[in-house]
Amino acid sequence: MKAKRLTPLFLALVTLSSCKEKTFFHNEGYAFGTSYHISYKATEDLQKGIEAEMAKFNSSLSTYDPNSTISRFNQSGTESFDLSKDPWMLKMVHESIRFSKLSNGAFDITVAPLVDLWGFGPKAKSDPTQAKIDSIRTFVGYKLLKLEKNQLTKSDPRIQLDCGAIAGGYASDIIADFLRHQGIKDYMVEIGGEIVMSGKNPDGNKWRIGINKPVDDSTSTNNDIEKILVLTDKALSTSGNYRSFYVKNGKKYAHTIDPHTGYPVQHSLLSATIIANDCFTADALATACMVIGVDSAMTLIESLPSVDAFFIYNEGGPDNKFKFTSGFKAYLEKE
Phi and psi angles of residue 122, each rounded to the nearest 5 degrees, phi first? -70, -15
Name the residue among 60, 3, 5, 58 with its Cα closest to residue 34. 58
Supply the pLDDT for residue 124.
57
3-state secondary structure of 117: helix
* Residue 4 confidence (pLDDT) above 50: no
Q: Which residue has the higher pLDDT, 117 or 204?
A: 204
| Percent of the chain residues topping a pLDDT of 90 | 72
* Mean pLDDT of the residues in the chain: 89
DSSP string of 165-221, one letter each residue: TTHHHHHHHHHHHHHHHTT--SEEEEETTEEEEES--TTSS-EEEEEEP----TTS-
Determine contact, residues 218/246, Cβ cutoff 8 Å: yes
- Kindly state the average pLDDT of the residues 246-273: 80
Name the residue among 270, 210, 218, 272 with its Cα closest to residue 244. 218
The C-alpha atoms of residue 19 and residue 103 are separated, in whole angstroms, by 50
Supply the pLDDT for residue 309.
98
* Residue 325 confidence (pLDDT) above 80: yes
Name 78's Cβ contacts closer than 8 Å, sequence gap at least 6.
153, 154, 155, 156, 157
The C-alpha atoms of residue 114 and residue 140 are separated, in whole angstroms, by 8
Name the residue among 36, 16, 18, 39 with its Cα closest to residue 28. 36
pLDDT, tens digit, 9 for 90 and up, residues 69-104: 999 999 999 999 999 999 999 999 999 999 999 999
Q: Which of 19-23, 53-57, 244-248 has the highest mean pLDDT?
A: 53-57
Supply the pLDDT for residue 1.
43
Name the residue among 57, 61, 81 with its Cα closest to residue 71. 61
Supply the pLDDT for residue 116.
87
pLDDT, tens digit, 9 for 90 and up, residues 137-173: 999 999 999 999 999 999 999 999 989 899 999 999 9
- Residue 17 pLDDT level (bands cut at 50, 70, 90): very low
* Residue 188 confidence (pLDDT) above 70: yes
